[in-house]
């Protein structure tokens, strides 16, 4: 919610237009169903809730003038900016977030700064095409994921299956987001040893789309 903060102890002059109350408006609007006469109501706030309530009244036969004036009046975000500075973390959590990003109704811009490593890199490259930005001094760390287990024979076989599934999932994700071949992915993004990349190297590998300062 927007607000005005006043400091300094100086007198305040001017006028502020107070919008109507949504909850009160909905109750008043519902009373239209009780009469067949023309009713004029002013000061109704232009909100999504109000618009859908007016549409509901319209479906009951209420003739509403100016209904379209209430449509799409609330602020809508044009894109989501996800700023990432991460040493990595849990792969399951990373892919859960990636699924949410893919299902977003609006573009997701990823901005990387400082360091992006391991699972953080998987999340960063999931940004919408053309909207993956690195600051000039950002460092990228790529490596194979850490894995280990113990238990009975059948438990080890089950864990091995999960290891193979995770590797395949990561290969597909890197290929989709960077366009690299599996050979290059295994060399630069899933190498047997840690590999550090600067912003330009990351851009050349298709990890980011732009390199620029944050303004």
Q: Which residues are catalytic?
A: 118, 143
Q: Where do we find the tokens 């071949």?
A: 181
Helix count and strand count (H, E) for the chain:
7, 6
Spell out the SS3 assignment of 144-201.
Answer: CCCCCCCCCHHHHHHHHHHHHHHHHHHHHHHHHHHCCCHHHHHHHHCCCCCEEECHHH
Sign for the CA dihedral angle at 193, 198, 199, 204 comes to negative
**What beta strand segments (E) does the chain contain?**
80-86, 108-117, 132-134, 139-142, 195-197, 210-211
User: Taking Cα atoms as reference points, which of 166, 127, 134, 124 lies closest to residue 148?
Assistant: 166
């Amino acid at each position: 919610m927007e607000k005005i903060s006043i400091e300094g102890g100086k007198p305040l002059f001017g006028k502020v237009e107070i919008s109507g109350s949504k909850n009160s408006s909905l109750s008043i609007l519902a009373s239209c169903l009780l009469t067949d006469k023309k009713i004029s109501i002013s000061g109704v706030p232009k909100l999504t809730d109000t618009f859908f309530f007016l549409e509901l009244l319209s479906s009951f036969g209420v003739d509403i003038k100016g209904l379209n004036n209430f449509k799409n009046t609330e602020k809508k975000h044009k894109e989501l900016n996800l700023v990432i500075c991460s040493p990595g973390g849990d792969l399951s959590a990373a892919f859960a977030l990636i699924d949410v990003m893919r299902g977003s109704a609006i573009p997701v811009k990823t901005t990387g700064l400082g360091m992006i490593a391991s699972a953080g890199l998987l999340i960063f490259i999931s940004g919408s095409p053309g909207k993956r930005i690195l600051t000039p001094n950002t460092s990228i760390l790529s490596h194979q994921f850490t894995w280990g287990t113990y238990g009975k024979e059948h438990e080890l076989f089950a864990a091995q299956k999960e290891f193979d599934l995770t590797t395949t999932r990561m290969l597909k994700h890197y290929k989709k987001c960077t366009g690299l071949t599996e050979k290059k992915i295994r060399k630069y993004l899933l190498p047997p040893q840690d590999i550090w990349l600067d912003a330009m190297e990351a851009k050349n590998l298709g990890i980011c789309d732009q390199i620029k300062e944050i303004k």
